[in-house]
Amino acid sequence: MSTQLLTNPTAKPPEPPPPDPPRITEEESALQKAEAVIDGKDAELAAKDAKIKTLQSELASVKDEVKAQSNEKHVKSPHKHAEPSGWQTFEASAYTAYCAEGCSGTTATGIDVSRTIYHAGKRIIAADPSVIALGSAVEVRQPDGTTFQAVAQDVGGAIKGAKIDVLVANEADAIQFGRQSVQVRVIN
């Protein structure tokens, strides 16, 4: 007993020290570490899933391009100036997915063309929907006689009447394509 209590019977005994904070057991510590590892793995898996989806999208675009290239015909017509039934003369120019005015990387029909110039194995063109309905497949014959299949999936502010705009990969390709008179026929 304290000497103060002995000398002063009204004195209060000293306060006990506060309790120690709860201690984490080894098992709880191991669980916390395991949860942190799992959280890290979840984030890593989410990042890998996103990368897989991106790669799958790129693979689909490459497959479309390969299919389209195998469908493109590089056969010259023996009658360069003859216009077989169904062929019409159009003025053709070229555009890219991202141009100075109005190009967003998505066609008027909602196709993402930021990584490809093909859809369903065919080239993509912009056309006047009152002349070539959106979604229509066409065959385009260039002045040198080469032909390719395309699908009208886009429109353009300057594309009115007998004009088409061919989607190309970059500005250099658009410049090289220039403006040319082509023959076009709807094939479906």
Residue 18 lies in a domain: no
SS3 assignment for the chain: CCHHHHHCCCCCCCCCCCCCCCCCCHHHHHHHHHHHHHHHHHHHHHHHHHHHHHHHHHHHHHHHHHHHHHHCECCCCCCCCCCCCCCEEEEEEEECCCCCCCCCCECCCCCECCCCCEECCEEEEEECCCCCCCCCEEEEECCCCCEEEEEEEECCCCCCCCEEEEECCCHHHHHHHCCEEEEEEECC
- The pLDDT of residue 81 is above 60: no
Q: Is 90 exceeded by the pLDDT of residue 143?
A: yes
Q: Do the domain assignments include residue 6? A: no
pLDDT, position 69: 63
| Number of domains composing the chain | 1
- pLDDT score at 27: 84
Asked if residue 40 belongs to a domain, the reply is yes
| pLDDT, greater one: 18 or 95 | 95
- Residue 7 maps to a domain: no
Q: Is residue 15 situated within a structural domain?
A: no
Segment of 2-16, 84-98, 120-134 carrying the highest mean pLDDT: 120-134
**The domain that contains 182 carries what CATH number?**
2.40.40.10
Higher pLDDT, 75 or 106: 106
Please give the pLDDT value at position 12.
Answer: 73
Return mean pLDDT, the chain: 81
81 within domain boundaries: yes
Higher per-residue pLDDT: 51 or 185: 185
pLDDT tens digits, residue range 40-52? 877 777 777 777 7
Q: How far apart are CA 60 and CA 76, in angstroms?
A: 30
pLDDT at 41: 76
Cα diameter, the chain: 129
Q: Is residue 3 part of a domain?
A: no
pLDDT at 23: 80
- Domain range for 165 is 24-188
**Does residue 1 lie within any of the structural domains?**
no
Q: Which range (3-12, 89-98, 159-168, 174-183) has the least confidence?
A: 3-12
Q: What is the average per-residue pLDDT within 112-121?
A: 91
Instruction: Using the predicted structure, report yes or no on whether residue 129 has a pLDDT greater than 90.
Output: yes
Question: Residues of the chain with pLDDT > 70: what percent?
Answer: 78
Query: Given this model, what pLDDT does residue 48 score?
Result: 76
pLDDT at 85: 65
